[in-house]
A = this chain, B = another copy of it.
Amino acid sequence: MALKISDLGGEAALINVIRDKFGAPSTGDLALGIGDDAALIHAGDSLLIVTTDMLVEGTHFRMDITDPYLVGWKSAAVNISDIAAMGGIPTYSFVSIGLPDIEIEVVESIYEGMHDVSARYGSVIAGGDTVASRGGIVINVTQLGTVESGKVARRDGAEPGDAILVTNTIGDSRAGLELLLRFGLPPLTPPCKGGDWGARGSEQCVLSHLKPEPRVNEARAAVATGKVHAMMDLSDGLASDLCKLCEASKVGARVIADALPISEDLHIAAARLDADPIHLAAGGGEDYELLLTCDAKSAPEIARAVASTGSTIRAIGEIVEGHGVVLVLPTGEEEPIGGSWEHF
């Protein structure tokens, strides 16, 4: 019987097969190929960063619980976040979009969202492709960026004894998604640019899900200290992403549940959802916050640098020898950290 993608173990397992069989080794000008947030290509004294993400209607977004402007914003934001994850500055994007025969103003709203988040971080749309798609909207963004050779951050630099830090709060986006799935989209004042939400505090979680802010400034401030050992953005959730960082660095990690940065909005949302806020924060998904490691003694310097951007950053645990990531519960019990996004 022929093996299907789901039999193999889904997206992550498939990517490993493809990388091993068809991916380029990191030689010559290619400083880093498949396996990090983005690829790195030597370009004089700097590195060209390239990342690409495909968003498919029905898999990554549903038009009944979002808005075209926000779909565009998020499509560009998640790619810009990958550039930030490498310590870089976004420069140019290339947008391919597959479209059913929909209203022009819907298409324009999608591009407006992409344009606005790109402009906020100094990037422009420099090319693309527009094609017909009967199976729903498909958006592929390829984002270029640049980073000085001395500032590049990768996943594979974590060392035992490192402090593990995350920016701002996590879990909000996951809670926002659960709220959207349960209660639908709150009323938006068109054209929705994400600022016009209802009075209930937990709807900030919805905003966090629909309109993530890439942490370019925070990443640049962090790498400017020269003290970052490893960094990535949280796209699949802390549990899944920290496991990837540890695997790339050949280390393990201990995360202190009580130290997870949980917003007041997430507490309210968790109550509405009858869910555990720690589970939402650790399982998470689509936070687009930064996860980084550094010498424990450098953590205050990095925290000061990040604070200068208006964001917060907090230590949530430490890198240890070995492998695997454990979550230390408030009771003192330890359990393997679990849960991730898996679309297949």
- A residues whose Cβ falls under 8 Å from a Cβ of B: 2-8, 11, 14-15, 17-18, 21-24, 29-30, 33-34, 38-39, 41, 43-44, 48, 50-60, 91-92, 94-99, 101-105, 107-108, 111-112, 114-115, 124-136, 138, 140, 142, 144, 343-344
Contact = CB atoms under 8 A, between A and B. Distances in A.
7 contacts: A3-B104, A3-B105, A18-B108, A18-B128, A21-B111, A50-B127, A58-B134
B127 A38 contact: yes
A136 B57 CA distance: 12
Contact of A56 (B115, B124, B138, B144): B138
Contacts of A4: 101-104
A82 to B, nearest CB: 10
Nearest to A41: B92
Contact of A53 (B2, B48, B124, B129): B129
A41 B41 CA distance: 15
Nearest to A344: B132
Given A30-B126, A92-B39, A103-B2, A48 B48 contact: yes
Nearest to A8: B104
Contacts of A99: 5
A56 B132 contact: yes
A322 to B, nearest CB: 29
Contacts of A24: 92, 124-126
Contacts of A53: 96, 129
Contact of A125 (B22, B97, B128): B22
A202 B111 CA distance: 44
A39 B103 contact: no
Contacts of A140: 52, 54, 96, 129, 140, 142
A131 B56 contact: yes
Contacts of A107: 5, 14, 18
Given A24-B92, A133-B138, A344-B132, A127 B52 contact: yes
A298 to B, nearest CB: 30
Contacts of A51: 94, 127
Nearest to A54: B96
Nearest to A124: B24
A93 B135 CA distance: 25
A126 B39 contact: yes
Contacts of A111: 18, 21-22
Contact of A131 (B60, B95, B108): B60
Contacts of A105: 2-3
B43 A130 contact: no
A44 to B, nearest CB: 6
A125 B44 CA distance: 21
Nearest to A1: B103
Nearest to A342: B132
Residue from the set A6, A58, A126 with the largest chain B CB neighbour count within 10 Å: A126
A56 B139 CA distance: 12
Contacts of A22: 111-112, 114-115, 125
A59 B44 CA distance: 41
